[in-house]
Chain A
């Protein structure tokens, strides 16, 4: 492989680049743009719930039909066009080759295709605002019969565009996942045995594998849904002899593992950050990996816990409750290993570490409230309430934003060659933490009180009047939470151009990416590849002069 730093035109460097680092940055930029869109929608949703029938500033009145479309697209955008690119595609592309000592991905052109597929998907989704009938409005889970025929929802082209846009996202993440897997298996640097692969890489792979093996049935379901919408089959339409619950099975077979697809990268990055800032090895490297394999396996047989109230045979509820509660065990092991990793550590309270702690603290709430929903008896009461909304925002927001930001704050200097402003970063963290909890913690209370989600105008229901003040509180917190993200945007834009120049290895970290220049050149390494001679987490080794030891000594 010859990767001489040749001159590239603007288009081949910034747009149709096959360099994994540029593609990663493209994914990052796309996810930030889509997050702004999704965040604006979140604001509209919260505004309408707190101030029903009052026109929202910068938008106008959120009428019930618009409300339905907005909650649907908020979910779709945040999961497939923010979560997936920001947490899976961006770090996988940037850090897998660097951390295993490769020069690029195994299939750089496939990587290029992966980005442009996601981009096309995002364009199609945005385009669905402008087609006759408007965008799809049946909820991001797309339950039939509402989603299967334009007779019911009055949305034909919007539904088709939504399915096509998701198809693009699925294909993008599938070819991406294939690429990451092949890269790690076949392109590791000499000496990079599997037991020396850093946690970030392992968990990004776990994320890719989980996605890869769960998305197939959903693609099949989406294909059938598209046939229902466009060619008049009736797979999901009872009137034509179809079975709407079939979609729910296919959807949640993917939907539950998808949570882990978005959780694993945050966990992996968190473990690497933990080792660096506690200056000691990860406790239970193999135990964590074994638990993860167990969790992935179990994640494929828990899906019906989303369907306890769907008309599922009640006999099936018990086994699915049991598998759901079982899946807490491997995650508990991982979390306890993380606590044990903190013990006796020489903790450096740096920004990425604090973000990672914020991730753990908030995710834990999401994980624990999941146990209530996974148990059929409790779920019958809580299903479809704001408790569910609070629960999954406590799992996804910490993963995507706290976890994702911890990664960005950790590696920003590696990516752009300049340092982020730490004071602004701390302010960003404190405000995000406060307002995130302010937004979603009261929703547990509102949900237990019985308030049903997906209601545009709660003032219509007298029994929800008691929650009006809580809803206003949540909405104000949500607006503040969204506004706080401007600090982050300002910080990266300013630091990219004006930040102090970064050194190669600012945190005395062992893993290979810190041996490359900041930012790494095309091809990552100079003339020779790193030759790996050590573990990623050899910190504070007794008898050594310094408390760290790079994985490769030859660069």
Chain B
């Protein structure tokens, strides 16, 4: 089956996609976009989180054919003119990245949270990131990173 989608602003077309395949597989194995991670393939870990028509979803639970004609943004698409997005930079600087496997999903989920809520509280952050598991950091540094990104994004908006 042929799939045509817009990925990170670019029109992409792939052929011979198996009908039972996930969007995650298409992104990683057919479009050479390995940023979204495959850790559980059952919606539990959030490492595969991408935007599908502006809504964060687990790419492992979207059938490839369901993404046809839709717009996808992956963690690779968040960079701004070749520079890390402020959310990505905050994760690096706050020490919220250890093995890094969970990071792409957390970055997308955080990006979405900060689009909706300028200065989220700790409970709001925990709720928004409840679908993203991290086995390394113990989450505290991730909360630090979200606050840091929120501060920077709100100051840059004021300027």
Say whether A and B bind each other: no
